[in-house]
Amino acid sequence: MTHYIGILSGKGGVGKTSTAVNLSAAMCHFGRDVILMDGNLSTPNIGLHLGAPVVPINLHHVLKGKNHITEAMYLHPSGIKIIPAGLSINDLKDVQPEKLKQVLPSLDGLTDVVIIDGAAGLGGEAIALMNAVKDLIIVTNPELPAVADAMKTIKIAEELGKNVRGVVVTKTGEQGDIPLSNLQTLLEKPILAIIPHDKAIRHSLLKKDPVIRTHPKSKSAIAYKKLAAGLIGIEYNEKAQSKFSEFLRDLRFR
């Protein structure tokens, strides 16, 4: 069975794309087959994060009925299959985000998980993503404007009958953070992960590769692996993981 998970936030710039990319990479790391789709149609970022900015066929072509969704799928070296959206302004002409709901079922049975990176705000694109999937993860930062927008997003999603699995709080550990217990009370949803503010994320962006591959031992990489393990329903033990990686590396050098 294929699970579809939409990533939304309300406020922009909180870390949705970083979360979508690294959650996908971490699930691949644990052996799951993952498709990562860019549901941010006006300002898409997945291709930029993963080094595939311009591709011959993208999600916009699919939504316009020109191509089948599998024709817009590309394999990233991390093992994630990505479906980038078009970057050009021309791509935006006549595109209907609501078509997402019609094209997504074509991925049923093709993979274990489809993670869809959403657009900021609560406009047509974000609502189209809510309408297209059942399960959502909300990303926020530990500061009031982001939390207020996350609360609004959760409320609208629930009014539409969606299942908000929980909240990922990113860029934590700065002075003035709202305490996590207060966040939990305000959002009334489980906190699925705390992703610390980490320079490694910026470095991984420069390398166009998920942080769990470029800096596997960084605090953000470990937090993303814990998030993925929790969602998959497996135990995560960093020490055992490191020993396993060392064992594989030693095998390679033998």
Ligand X SMILES: Nc1ncnc2c1ncn2[C@@H]1O[C@H](COP(=O)(O)OP(=O)(O)OP(=O)(O)O)[C@@H](O)[C@H]1O
Question: Which residue's CB is nearer to ligand X, number 13 or number 31?
Answer: 13
The answer to whether residue 45 forms part of the interface with Mg ion (CB under 5 A) is yes
Question: Which residue's CB is nearer to ligand X, number 2 or number 121?
Answer: 121
The DSSP bridge partners found for residue 164 are: 136
Question: Which residue's CB is nearer to ligand X, number 109 or number 114?
Answer: 114
Q: What does the chain look like in DSSP terms, one character per residue?
A: --EEEEEE-SSTTSSHHHHHHHHHHHHHHTT--EEEEE---SS--HHHHTT----SS-HHHHHTTSS-GGGG-EE-TTS-EEEPPP-SHHHHTT--GGGHHHHGGGGTTT-SEEEEEPPSSSSHHHHHHHHH-SEEEEEE-SSHHHHHHHHHHHHHHHHTT-EEEEEEEEEESSTTPPPHHHHHHHH-S-EEEEEE--HHHHHHHHHTS-HHHHSTTSHHHHHHHHHHHHHHT----HHHHHHHHHHHHHHHH-
The answer to whether residue 78 forms part of the interface with ligand X (CB under 6 A) is no
What is the sign, positive or negative, of the torsion defined by CA atoms of 154, 103, 81, 12? negative
Closest separation between CB of residue 198 and ligand X, Å? 4
Question: Which residue's CB is nearer to ligand X, number 170 or number 214?
Answer: 170
Size of the site for Mg ion (CB under 5 A): 3
Closest separation between CB of residue 133 and ligand X, Å? 17
Residue 155 binds which entry of ligand X, Mg ion, none, CB below 5-8 Å type-dependent: none
Question: Which residue's CB is nearer to ligand X, number 16 or number 60?
Answer: 16
The answer to whether residue 12 forms part of the interface with ligand X (CB under 6 A) is yes
Question: Which residue's CB is nearer to ligand X, number 24 or number 45?
Answer: 45
Stretch that binds Mg ion, among 17-25, 66-74, 91-99, 233-241 (CB under 5 A): 17-25
* Contact pattern for ligand X over residues 170 through 209, marking x by CB under 6 A: xx-----------------------x-xx--xx--x----
The DSSP bridge partners found for residue 168 are: 139, 193
The answer to whether residue 140 forms part of the interface with Mg ion (CB under 5 A) is no
Size of the site for ligand X (CB under 6 A): 20
Residue 201 binds which entry of Mg ion, ligand X, none, CB below 5-8 Å type-dependent: ligand X
Binding interface with ligand X (CB under 6 A): 9, 12-18, 40, 45, 120, 170-171, 195, 197-198, 201-202, 205, 220
